[in-house]
Structure 1
Amino acid sequence: MERVALLTEVKKKKRDENLIKAKMQRTFSLRRQEVLQEPKIPEFFNKWPALLDVTEIKWEFMRLTTVPLTSKFLGELDRLTNDLIGVFNTKGGVAGKKIGAMMAKMENDMECSESEADVAGTTMAIYTVQAEGDDHDGPGGLLADVGVVLEGVEVLHNLQSINHACVMLYGLIYALNLSYPRSLKNIFEAYQKILMDLESSKLSPKVRTLKLKLLR
């Protein structure tokens, strides 16, 4: 009954955000039981559309970890940016060349991987849509939209920036109990255990090496 009432409130044009927050809190344990059964993303969001909202993603993360999502993530990223750049600059070989090229392109703007808006079949991604008439590729270009895709479904759009989309994707991974993408496992572990300081006593060798370099 609480879930149905929540669903009704979410669909209203002038919805009561405080009421939604309270009902999401009361239905948290029920929602977690469903999440652990690994439902399909579209089916889950049909039942719990409140989690398609940036504010509720942050509250859900807080319920799970007691850690504030956005301020902690972006604050630690800002604090460690210069140290991360220093670590990247010492990297040699093929990896060093790739990192150097990426850093030159980003022009000191930290970002996650981006893709075009054609996302059908994509398991997990951040997409960007370049503003019409803007010929500047990359982070310096004007963006008409930034969003998040899960299981081929656009679950968030009109986000503030690629950085913000990265934070929201991380929050959704926790909210939905998703596994880290294999190709980005080390990156997401670094987010979790270095930036967010969650389960930081258990580090993979690569993330442990990065953390030790940052502490020097």
Structure 2
Amino acid sequence: MASYRKKLKQLGCPELSVNTSTHSRYAVVKKPHKAELNYLPPHPEGQTAESLEQICEELLGDVYIRDNLRVVNEKMATTFSIRRQEIVKESLAVDVLMLRWPALFHVTQIKEEFKRLTAVDLESTFIGNLDKVMANLLGLFHAKGGIAGYKIRETMKLLDQDHGVDIRREVVIRCLIVYLSENIEDLIEHYQDTTAVEDIAEHSLKIITRGGAPDGTPFDAEIVLDGIRVLGGLSSLMSPCISLFGLIYSLDLCYPKGLKYTFEFFQKVLLNLVQNCHQRFYH
């Protein structure tokens, strides 16, 4: 494998050459660490940086055309390589990426980008595996003692009422965070008053929820990254959790220090993404 990687680097494989010590300009670029299969792919055959830039400019208009999902998806797939080079090598800020790649911040394209990176279907795999381990997790939660156990049991009282499968999944996610000795408030901040105005500039990575009261106030959730609303209008907690995880991969972000174990559980248990040399391949 070492010889194979050396030959690929000599041929200009971006994922290998970008981290070589002989390229001091890119020496600080981190390597894939979350089991990405296509972390920094080469350009598609027959495409150049100039031709991909032209498609990128076309996308800026295509994304606002109604019922244009197929065209947007095809062009996003074609420009995947140049987008990854900008994100990994240049570490563009979130606000710049929103201007340059607005389609990347739509729910559909978040899932598609995650699949391009990992070859895993984000939503179906996440929810499917969560449902599979839900019974085992609930058993662990019931057995938890101490202050964490008290907080978990208070949260699990919601399961005594028939709120449907979405609420059960939400309760499990909340209890999981506490079980892993992390704070729910580091990930989710709730405002019962839907008219409340908060200072989102102080949030580097957060899910903000509003409403959802018994009086019929509709539930609404949004994602904030680097003090910017990047995605809103989400109607359940599961949707922003899944989309946020997809954005972490798409934008090459590190897991927040205070939520490291929660996101590693999402990655390794719910999505079966484990860093392993035998999993990786190169085109």
TM range (shorter): 0.7 to 0.9
1:101 counterpart (154, 165, 169):
154
The residue that corresponds to 2:271 in the other structure is: 196
Is 1:183 matched with 2:258? Answer: yes
Unaligned runs of 5+ in 1: 203-216
Q: Residue 40 of structure 1 aligns to which amino acid in structure 2? A: A
Normalised to the residue count of structure 1, the TM-score between the two structures is 0.82
Distance change in 2, residues 1:79/1:142 (3 Å): farther
The DSSP-based 3-state class of the residue aligned with 1:143 is coil
Find the residue that maps to 2:233 and give its secondary structure: coil
| Contact 1:147–1:158 (8 Å) recurs in 2 | yes
Bigger mean CA deviation after superposition, 143-152 or 74-83: 143-152
1:1-216 aligned within 5 A: 1-12=54-65, 14-36=66-88, 37-105=90-158, 109-111=168-170, 113=184, 114-115=188-189, 116=191, 118=198, 119-130=200-211, 134=213, 142-199=217-274
For the aligned residue pairs, the C-alpha RMSD in angstroms reads 2.1
Q: Distance in 2 between matches of 1:20 and 1:86?
A: 44
Deviation at 1:96, TM superposition (A): 1.8
Whole-Å separation in 1 of the counterparts to 2:142 and 2:91: 40
Letter in structure 2 aligned against 1:126: I
Unaligned stretches of 5+ residues in structure 2: 1-53, 161-166, 175-183, 192-196, 278-283
Q: Name the % identity.
A: 38
Question: In structure 1, what is the Cα distance between the partners aligned to 2:111 and 2:58?
Answer: 21
Q: Distance in 2 between matches of 1:15 and 1:201?
A: 40
Task: Give how far 1:29 is off.
Answer: 0.6
Deviation digits for residues 113-149 of structure 1 (CA, Å, limit 9, x no counterpart): 4313622321111111216xx456xxxx743421111
Deviates further, 56-65 or 76-85: 76-85
| Matched residue count | 195
Change (3 A) 1:106 1:157: farther
Q: Which amino acid aligns with 2:202?
A: G
Q: Per the alignment, in what secondary structure is the counterpart of residue 103 of structure 1?
A: helix
Check 1:75–1:152 CA distance in 2 against 1; reply closer, same or farther (3 A cut): same
